[in-house]
Structure 1
């Protein structure tokens, strides 16, 4: 439910602050959803780069991989 809500927030184009509180969610799948939404919307949310940087050091491999890939990708490819 929370992961779906995070993806929904990204689709709605809400302010970055709406996602900031989910970065520290105890469930990895919610953090993975946040990383995915931030990766997809990084052009719209350049201030999300520090959040992705933090997620790139997450304890979960899926979250780390999603965030790290987004940080490596050049901005003009999105």
Structure 2
């Protein structure tokens, strides 16, 4: 499930940001992902995985690895 989860998240981020690659540790800002795209990514992640990420936790989601760790924790992993 772990690798599958990360790949699903990578796909969501790549689709929203129209990117071919989303490295695990590269900051979203360095990938050209702005705040509006970040909101769309979080919304898509919440919908796909049926979870809620509180607004005060959004600033922590700086790259794919951070999103992965947050979603994994929320899913009980």
TM > 0.5 fold call:
no
Q: Which has the higher contact order (CA 8 A, sep 6+)?
A: 2
TM-score norm. by structure 2 comes to: 0.28
